[in-house]
Structure 1
């Protein structure tokens, strides 16, 4: 038994010595691959870039890209010519244009990945797609697990962003036919953009700045915060389980918002057409009050303030105020919470 302990102790000492030698010679590296026989070290060195000119295309299809790199950013923007630039220190991508459609696939991405990472490594990748400034894309489609998507200075007829995780950023983007933006988890922001017939489905923050929503629009979410500034929101149906809507210097036209739990705060906003905001539990505020508007307000279990004056509880559950020659209508219903209009 003593010999057994001696052998064990000796093996432990030798193992510790080898571990120290390996660590001192940079032996502790992050490893990734698709099988035990095809693994490679993720380099900590700077990523390398490769630029490929492309034949003209009017559609970008990343539905089957199978991009496994969790730090991948896909950047689509306008420039001088058709090209794709990949910057990476680990993943390898193949690109091709067939029938005016660009596809990008990560090599070996469909095979099961094996990862060993005790030492943090800079494993990043960026795919940059450039189209001429005069080009309008017929379609942009993505169906990705963990990637960030950036669109800038482009015109698109049909846009579909379907992500499991990641962020989407749109800057100076015009979508003329329809937009579908679905994120299970992530941030979505749009600036200086026009989106037509947009369908939002995601959980996470949504920020719209100087954005015009045209056509028929909808937003469905379980938990998210919505921030809107200097925007024109037309014909949208917001259906949120819980969250917050805050808007500034914006116009709501023929829109409807339903919150199970959350607050709605509108500042320097106007309404045109028929608009309604319904909250099960939360507060609604609108300052200053738009003119030439008819109001129908109901605060069943809370305080109602209209034009800065508190309304009695008897009137709070069914308060209406008609304005002569007004063509705009605002309905606000709060089951539990306050309504404030000043």
Structure 2
């Protein structure tokens, strides 16, 4: 009985393998896309290869209301929009007064079987002739990427929900008065930018900043993600993170408040000015190469320990450990309180 079962199973496997190979040779394993969950259309490699170019005399705002579209917005030779999508023009571009509005005829549900076609989806490139040509970009692109570079903006509003964990937000060489960025499972990369005010709401993604200056206020709320920054400058704001990692190196940290839950915070070669507070719930703090002219007010509770310049601080009581150090002519203060985790100043 068992021998017969194994024979039937082996025969079925061989037949299935033969049919799979035959189907692949004859055009199988193709991605399909549908306007609903029951009506699908097979895509080929040329589906998103129809390019059209739209030229305008002028526009100052851009609004993106689409899904599964990759955008690139930057300075170019003139006001122009290049759209690479289907022959049926999946994307709709309208100019409403001084604003470009890009929409989509219908929502798609891609099911990709062949990895070769994974990135086959509409692409849009928007160029403007000067850095100050655009005053506002509002991105409501639900499952796509956005790259913005070499512009001066009054407002940048981004709301990207990416459930494929493949897309990202890239901001390079920007001057922005107010940035409001909300992403879900989309990594954010910011390089050589200056924001007057900024707010980040991020879920399950990585926020990486390099040479970012926030002149007035930075507010970052991160859930289940990481925050990494290098050679940046932050003033008068708050960073909260849960279940992730925070890394800050070679930056200016001025009057910032950190609220961390189950996070490892590592800081190295930073300049601290003003009063910086660290609320650490089951979160560790490790600082390296701090300047000499700052004050320390450190407290750990529960099983947390304090180590300062290679020496372990003796417990003040059975429930907590305190450490204070004041210096003359200080330029900043570090006040940290950790529960059930360590504070280490190297």
**TM-score relative to the length of structure 1:** 0.85
TM-superposition CA deviations, 1:300-333 (whole Å, max 9, x none): 2222122332211127622111112224111011
**Gaps spanning 5+ residues in structure 1: where?**
1-16
| 8 Å Cα contact 1:307/1:341 also seen in 2 | yes
In structure 2, the residue matched to 1:245 is: 246
Q: For residues 1-342 of structure 1, what are the structure 2 equivalents within 5 Å?
A: 24-26=25-27, 29-34=30-35, 40-45=41-46, 47-62=49-64, 65-67=65-67, 69=68, 72-88=69-85, 92-109=90-107, 113=108, 118-119=113-114, 122=117, 123-165=120-162, 166-176=167-177, 178-203=178-203, 204-300=205-301, 301-314=303-316, 317-342=321-346
- The Cα of 1:169 is off from its aligned counterpart by 0.5
- Alpha-carbon distance in 1 for matches of 2:179, 2:267: 25
- The Cα of 1:98 is off from its aligned counterpart by 1.9
In structure 1, the residue matched to 2:13 is: none
In structure 2, the residue matched to 1:9 is: none
- The Cα of 1:260 is off from its aligned counterpart by 1.0
- Alpha-carbon distance in 2 for matches of 1:86, 1:157: 25
| 8 Å Cα contact 1:47/1:124 also seen in 2 | no
- The Cα of 1:154 is off from its aligned counterpart by 0.8
The alpha-carbon distance between structure 1 residues 117 and 238, as it changes in their structure 2 partners (threshold 3 A), is closer
Point out the more displaced range, 37-46 or 199-208.
37-46
- Alpha-carbon distance in 2 for matches of 1:212, 1:83: 30
The alpha-carbon distance between structure 1 residues 22 and 295, as it changes in their structure 2 partners (threshold 3 A), is closer
For residue 294 of structure 1, give the secondary structure of its aligned residue in structure 2: strand
- The Cα of 1:135 is off from its aligned counterpart by 2.9
- Alpha-carbon distance in 2 for matches of 1:324, 1:336: 32
Note the aligned Cα RMSD (angstroms).
2.7
- Alpha-carbon distance in 2 for matches of 1:160, 1:26: 42
Point out the more displaced range, 324-333 or 146-155.
324-333
- Alpha-carbon distance in 2 for matches of 1:276, 1:24: 63
The alpha-carbon distance between structure 1 residues 84 and 291, as it changes in their structure 2 partners (threshold 3 A), is same
**TM-score relative to the length of structure 2:** 0.84
- Alpha-carbon distance in 1 for matches of 2:111, 2:234: 48
| 8 Å Cα contact 2:276/2:335 also seen in 1 | yes
